[in-house]
A and B are shown apart, each in its own frame.
Chain A
Amino acid sequence: MTEVTSTSTQAKETSAADAADSTATAARPSAGSGRGSRPLLEVRGVTKRFGGIQALSNVSLEVAPGETVGLIGPNGAGKTTLFDCVNGLMHPDAGTVIFDGQRIDGMPVYRRARLGIGRTFQKIELFAGATVREQLMVAEREKRGDGRLWKDLLWRGAPSPEEVDEVDQMVKSLGLEDVADTPAEAISLGQGRLVELGRALVQRPRLLLLDEPSSGLDSNETTALAAVLTVVRRDFGTAMLLVEHDLDMVAAAVTRVYVLDFGRMIASGPLDDVLSDDAVRAAYLGQAPLAPS
């Protein structure tokens, strides 16, 4: 049983990888040199402490517009903490975060979101009580940013036909039609992750932070997810920072990776190079399979 699923995943993965490669080659020069165009996201020397734990120490990374970058590392390495610092849920103790040339550390979460930073959560965060369609609709309305209390009071708060359309489209492209009107509590974890992804995507973010999007998904869902990400990258040109333990998926999606361990950035570069790095091997020893199978 396991055998069968894993092979079928693999087949799909390869096709996703092919698709990813074609965009990757386009993105690589600018990302590689990092000089030609301004990076979309720039993290410089970010440090975060929780009491005695040094969750991040002096971490720096860059993501170019449209580029997909992996962020890997063993459990507790500080990946989620770094996401929180970029997205604003946490404020770093030191260091700067620059988005599209603008310093954003110190900005509240919602303003960063409005600048175009979307994210999904490792520990899934759905709007309890709302249906799948409603979850996407809130995000869709928020994108326009024209929701005002007084408009509601004049009965002008209902979503427009275009918005409804947009949401329907997203529901369809994520394959969530069946559960579109089901409340969040009643859908599977995999569907929940897709809803989170859709909620971020309807806002057409310029940078998408994905925190272990495939954890808890079955193989079919993982495949669907990889396909969606490919389409997003190709059609919307969204830059992504991907935290993922499934190295197959990372290999298929990204141009290069950063490796965090105990809050320090221990390596960066193309996945294969990084995985043969001694420090990375040491960090991962006994943790997870090293090379994509």
Chain B
Amino acid sequence: MSQFLSYAIPGLPYGCVFALLGMGLVLTYQTSAVFNLAFGAQAYASALVFYVCVSDGWPTWAAFLVSVVFGAPLLGVVIDLGLFRFVRSRPVLVKLVAALGLLIVIPAVLQVAFGTSNRYSPPSLWLSPSTVYFRVLGDPINGGELSTVIVTAAVALLLSLMFHFTQTGLRMRAMAESPRMVQLAGLSAERVGMTSWMLSSFLAGLAGVIIAPVFGSLQSLNFTQLLVAAVAAAAAGSLVSLPYTFLGGVILGILEEVLGGYLPSGNVLSSGLRPGFPFIVLLALLLFLPGLRRRWGRTDDPLAACDPPPAPIASTMRDPALYRATRIGTTVFVIAFVLSCLTWITDNWVFTLSQALALSIVFLSLVLLTGMSGQISLCQAAFAGVGAFTAGQLAMHFNLSILVGIVAAGVVAALVGVVVALPALRVGGLALALATLAFGLLADNIGFQFSWSLNGDSGISLPRPTLGPINFSSDRSFFLLIIVVLAICIAIVEAIRRGTTGRQLAALRGSELAAASIGINPARTKIGVFALSAGLAGVGGALYGSLDSSVSASDFNTLVSLVFVVVVATVGVYTVEGAIEAGLAYVLLNNLVTSSLPSSWASLLEIVFGAGAVVYVLHPEGVIEYLKRFAIEHLVRGGGERAEAEVLA
């Protein structure tokens, strides 16, 4: 018992934080229909501001006021007014991309504002973690644990009083029950929504400040990972119940530590299992909670005060002039590009461009998955990682050519994709996003740490391939190989788009009910496409690895996956060119930032693409696609008038 307690007690602060964040998630999901994956980043923001204030010599209470009491709700209001208010009746995909954009932008902006220096041993809010206050059955309770529990309990108590006895609380409950009725009763859904954003952002900020001392130093990734546990807590409450979410969070935090305590230490599995535990719980809840699956599977939103507006026609239809211009332009450009790369462009640039094109293959997998099939995956980098280690390990242990390895990489990644997608795809949307997020984090923490996979941060090496007499070890010949593989992948995606599957996907995106009613098997079609997309990512990852000659787990971590989604969504997720432009934009900007700009600009890339994701809300067709259309409309003379004439006719 005493041993159990000694493991369980350190779990309490985690549990409290999971509970706070989880309640924030449920609150905003119920009142504004947004699943805000950025709460982790908001927690980081408050923790960072608190840190900075305290280290500037402010008294703790003043720092707390600024970072949590005023700062956090203010941030909540800003993101509600500036972003989430506009997306609540949009498809799940748009909401997720918007939240992901925030998740990436907030820490990046903070880095620019406060510098990138390491911040060790964050200050505690109230009681010092190094003081032991009393003992329970002989186990010491330190100030950190004590204050966390007291603060969380107080907040939970206040919340429940508020929900039961105040007007605002009643309105929020009514809103969760039936948003339509709230509006019919003449209450402003917007006002109620804003209150809940303030409240939940406050909870996130509080969670950030009280958990910070537990981490040795302040790092945004730690806070992002907290969020997955919070999602699991919210899932335990089926996304509706605050008390169950609270309980779920606390139990999860304690279980995590207890599990870590009892597991033998020293091998990858046990060291990875503890941080991986929340993701396993989340996957299990997704699988086994039928109520949750129904809720997440439903196509309408809890808030939809009216039916979501149809997708803007502009985002799916293209002017024929643009088609023609694109085709001619692309042909000329591709020929010129390839010839240039083979002749006058320097080796360094050929290498950089090769990187861009290898990434384009991974991005192509998102065009297939997200653009054509309307699904979202937050673990595309993990599939690329699976591909990379498959090819690498086959080459290392079986002396298999990387060319064979690349094919094997695609196959293995596709199989892993099926396993990931099977449980979640039947319900789709948010559930798939979260399942893939959980899988990606599991891969980071456990899967990629083994020596038979990516060997953690030490990484593995991949040779360049040879094909009979042809040797691809020079950058230029490898560039050619990448071009060929890219062309094949493009052909695959285009074949799907033009074939039966493409039609089925379009139908499923349009109306799943009607699609099933004409005999389309939604689950099979989606799983097939998901697997194919994972396979493409695997191929891209293997090529990327072979180009770089070595890869490690950090090349394919979850943050990379999130950035991938955001980059492709920003640049253009509906077209094949979008993937290539995204690859080029990402690598070239990255190059610019790392080689030519001062280090304080390091997060520029994140800011650009994060902000781009926010723009995605306005232009789902992608920024570059939008610009192209804009240009065509104005450059091709009469284009505008012609369109108008058609409308009038």
Give A contacts to B, CB under 8 Å. 87-89, 108-111, 113-114, 118-119, 121, 125-130, 134-135, 137-139, 141-143, 145, 147-149, 151-158, 183-186, 196, 199-200, 203
Contact = CB atoms under 8 A, between A and B. Distances in A.
Interface string B496-507: 101111111011
Nearest to B315: A129
Nearest to B513: A125
A125 B532 contact: no
Given A128-B510, A149-B532, A153-B495, A199 B518 contact: yes
B518 A152 contact: no
Most B CB within 10 A of own CB, among A108, A130, A141, A149: A149
B184 interface: no
B509 interface: yes
B593 interface: no
Interface string B302-327: 00000000110100110000000000
A207 to B, nearest CB: 12
B502 A203 contact: no
B313 A126 contact: no
B598 interface: no
Given A148-B500, A158-B499, A129 B516 contact: no
Given A126-B511, A152-B499, A153-B492, A113 B517 contact: yes
Contacts of B316: 129, 183
A200 B520 CA distance: 13
A139 B517 CA distance: 10
Contacts of A186: 313
A139 B515 CA distance: 8
Interface residues of B, number: 32
Q: Give the top 9 A-B pairs by smallest Cβ distance, nearest first.
A: A157-B499, A127-B510, A152-B499, A147-B500, A113-B519, A109-B516, A125-B514, A128-B510, A125-B511
B522 interface: yes
B243 interface: no
Most B CB within 10 A of own CB, among A108, A151, A157, A203: A157
15 contacts: A110-B516, A110-B519, A113-B519, A118-B518, A129-B509, A138-B503, A147-B504, A149-B501, A152-B498, A152-B499, A152-B501, A155-B498, A183-B317, A184-B510, A185-B313
Contacts of B521: 108, 110
Interface of B: 310-311, 313, 316-317, 492, 495-496, 498-504, 506-507, 509-511, 513-522, 528, 532
A110 B509 contact: no
Nearest to A147: B500
Contacts of B311: 128-129, 185
Given A127-B514, A196-B514, 5 more contacts: A134-B503, A138-B515, A141-B500, A142-B504, A153-B499
A150 to B, nearest CB: 10
Contacts of A128: 310-311, 509-511
Nearest to B511: A125
A184 B511 CA distance: 11
A127 B501 contact: no
Given A110-B520, A157-B499, A121 B504 contact: no
A99 to B, nearest CB: 14
B320 to A, nearest CB: 12
A130 B500 contact: no
Contacts of A203: 518-519
B506 A138 contact: yes
Given A119-B517, A126-B511, A149-B528, A185 B503 contact: no
Most A CB within 10 A of own CB, among B504, B510, B511, B519: B519
B375 to A, nearest CB: 16
B514 A152 contact: no
A126 B514 contact: yes
A269 to B, nearest CB: 30
A125 B509 CA distance: 12
Nearest to A182: B313
B491 to A, nearest CB: 8
Nearest to A114: B519
B517 A129 contact: no
B492 A183 contact: no
B522 A121 contact: no
Most A CB within 10 A of own CB, among B496, B503, B522: B503
